[in-house]
């Protein structure tokens, strides 16, 4: 995994120069330089051609020639960064830094010649199996980088990220990686959960090298003599510079470096630095995949897919290194409930915006039948009592009085009729003329 850390390029250039050609370019970049011996130098072969030169005075020089425009832009950025390191700042560092001796531009590409720095690169295996003194040297170098003044970055107009900006940037990268459909769902859920764990992202931003790995450390004996590769300097998460260490899977070595780093820092490191470093190391494989797809490099894509599948199997079998503070919830797929993680977008191709849980429908309850129209029965007219047919004055007066009282009450007129079509004499109101 550590072989894919810190590789910023997504392009594959066609320009390639052998060491003899680089020596000729160096004579044009540095007037008076007369090479007497030349050899190839380790570098990222996808981006640069490099060589070591020996001149007539016994001095050594390093030549770096970009293979494409993007790599050339990185070298030009590094040139600006190195110029920002004043002699006073360099004097406080426990290691040496490159110095640009000359440059020559050929078309759109710029080749740089650096004064030689003592020391040699070592593999991660060699570094992790080294002495405790070497681990302390690496920790002290990291502490010195992260304690550099932040004005060094801001004055050079280089990127600067707050913790939340950095987390959001990584979430955007995760979304981009998920759209490829080539990331194992287990890894997508694992990374998404870690990025959404807010407590993991509480740290103090610092100056970060940004491209630190074993190829950019020069070691001599048990000492770190120089740090190179200053193309991605920024203000961000200090855990990024620990990713290559965590990827070595040598916990004793990592702990020894962290102890020396903590002792050398002016600010106390946060408790979750190594968790974020482990996340950065794992996520580097997804970044490598996206770069391979962007550059249409089938070999790079196949290699990335293989490494991602291996990582997913290791985590499934052994659990992997802890990256989240909060435990990761297990995916639920049981009964009528199906919970889908948003991170599965890359695997399923279509994910609902929300989790859908079917709501059980209760059995219908019979409701009482109601008539369409409510009908109120009309009371029948009271039957005639004894003497109702009597034509005497007493009977008529009693009848008239009762009906006069009914007529004085609003809404009682309807009770004087047996029905709407009633034409009998019972529907006629009798008026007492004598009272009028």
Structural domains of the chain in order of their starting residue, each with its CATH number: 13-117 (3.30.200.20), 118-324 (3.90.1200.10)
At 254, is the secondary structure helix, strand, or coil?
helix
Number of residues that make up the chain: 436
- Inter-axis angle of helices 185-196 and 298-318, nearest 10: 70
CA 288 to chain centre: 16
Cα angle for residues 273, 278, 280 (degrees, 5° grid): 95
Residues 345, 178: Cα–Cα separation, whole Å: 6
Residues 192, 351: Cα–Cα separation, whole Å: 15
What's the pLDDT at 351? 41
Q: Model-level pTM greater than 0.75?
A: no
What's the pLDDT at 283? 96
At 353, is the secondary structure helix, strand, or coil?
coil
Report H helices in 148-272. 151-155, 163-178, 185-196, 243-246, 251-264
What's the pLDDT at 382? 53
Q: Which two tokens stand for residue 231?
A: 């193309």
What's the pLDDT at 381? 52
Residues 135, 327: Cα–Cα separation, whole Å: 32
What's the pLDDT at 415? 44
From first to last of the 436 residues of the chain, give the pLDDT tens digit: 444 444 444 344 455 678 898 999 999 999 989 999 988 877 777 788 888 999 998 899 999 999 888 889 999 999 999 999 999 999 999 999 999 999 999 888 999 999 888 888 899 999 999 899 999 999 999 999 999 999 999 888 899 999 999 999 999 999 999 999 999 999 999 999 999 999 999 999 999 999 999 989 999 999 999 999 898 999 999 999 999 999 888 899 999 999 999 999 999 999 999 999 999 999 999 999 998 999 888 999 999 999 999 999 999 998 888 898 887 776 554 444 434 444 444 444 434 444 444 545 555 555 554 554 454 555 555 554 444 444 444 444 444 444 444 444 444 444 444 444 444 444 445 555 454 4
302 CB neighbour count, 10 Å cutoff: 12
What's the pLDDT at 364? 53
Residues 55, 62: Cα–Cα separation, whole Å: 11
Strand order across the 109-115 sheet: 35-40, 48-55, 60-66, 109-115, 100-106
Q: Dump strand ranges (E) for 337-433.
A: 337-338
Residues 97, 82: Cα–Cα separation, whole Å: 8
Point out which residues pair with 40 in neighbouring strands.
51
**Long-range contacts of 145-148, Cβ-Cβ distance < 8 Å, separation of 24 or more:** 145/207, 145/208, 145/209, 145/212, 145/227, 145/241, 146/206, 146/207, 146/208, 146/238, 146/241, 146/265, 147/206, 147/207, 147/264, 147/265, 147/266, 147/267, 148/89, 148/206, 148/207
Residues 116, 100: Cα–Cα separation, whole Å: 10
- Inter-axis angle of helices 251-264 and 273-294, nearest 10: 110
At 351, is the secondary structure helix, strand, or coil?
coil
Pairing of β 206-208 and β 223-227 = unpaired
Counting Cα atoms < 13 Å in the Cβ hemisphere of 268 gives 2
At 219, is the secondary structure helix, strand, or coil?
strand
**What's the longest Cα–Cα distance across the chain?**
160
Distances (CA, A) of 114 to 90, 102, 434: 16, 7, 139
Residues 50, 56: Cα–Cα separation, whole Å: 20
């Amino acid at each position: 995994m550590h072989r894919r850390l810190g590789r910023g390029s997504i392009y594959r250039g066609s320009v390639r120069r052998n060491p003899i050609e680089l020596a000729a370019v160096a004579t044009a970049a540095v007037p008076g330089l007369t090479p007497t011996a030349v050899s190839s130098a380790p570098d990222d072969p996808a981006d640069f051609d490099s060589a070591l030169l020996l001149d007539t005075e016994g001095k050594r020089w390093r030549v770096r020639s970009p293979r494409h425009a993007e790599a050339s832009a990185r070298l030009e950025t590094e040139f600006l960064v190195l110029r920002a390191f004043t002699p006073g700042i360099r004097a406080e560092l426990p290691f040496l830094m490159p110095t640009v001796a000359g440059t020559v531009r050929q078309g759109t590409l710029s080749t740089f010649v650096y004064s030689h720095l003592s020391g040699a690169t070592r593999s991660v295996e060699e570094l992790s199996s080294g002495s405790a003194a070497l681990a302390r040297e690496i920790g002290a170098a990291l502490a010195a980088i992260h304690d550099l003044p932040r004005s060094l970055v801001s004055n050079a107009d280089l990127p600067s990220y707050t913790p939340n900006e950095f987390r959001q940037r990584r979430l955007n990268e995760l979304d981009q990686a998920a759209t490829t459909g080539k990331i194992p769902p287990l890894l997508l859920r694992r990374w998404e959960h870690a990025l959404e764990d807010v407590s993991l992202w509480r740290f103090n931003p610092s100056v970060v090298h940004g491209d630190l790995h074993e190829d950019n450390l020069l070691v001599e004996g048990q000492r770190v003599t120089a740090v190179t590769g200053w193309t991605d300097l920024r203000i961000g998460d200090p855990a990024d510079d620990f990713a290559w260490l965590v990827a070595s899977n040598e916990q004793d070595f990592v702990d020894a470096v962290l102890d020396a780093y903590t002792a050398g820092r002016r600010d106390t490191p946060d408790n979750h630095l190594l968790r974020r470093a482990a996340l950065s190391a794992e996520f580097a494989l997804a970044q490598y995949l996206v770069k391979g797809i962007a550059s249409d490099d089938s070999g790079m894509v196949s290699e990335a897919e293989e490494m991602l599948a291996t990582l997913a199997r290791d985590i499934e079998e052994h659990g992997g290194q802890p990256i989240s503070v909060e435990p990761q919830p297990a995916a639920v797929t049981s009964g009528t409930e199906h919970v889908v993680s948003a991170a599965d977008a890359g695997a399923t191709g279509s994910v609902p915006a929300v989790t859908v849980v079917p709501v059980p429908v209760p059995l219908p309850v019979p409701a009482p039948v109601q008539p369409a129209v409510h009908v109120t029965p009309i009371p029948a007219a009271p039957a005639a009592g004894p003497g109702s047919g009597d034509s005497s004055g007493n009977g008529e007066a009693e009848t008239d009085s009762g009906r006069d009282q009914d007529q004085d009450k609003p809404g009682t007129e309807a009770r004087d009729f047996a029905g709407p079509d009633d034409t009998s004499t019972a529907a006629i109101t009798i008026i007492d003329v004598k009272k009028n």
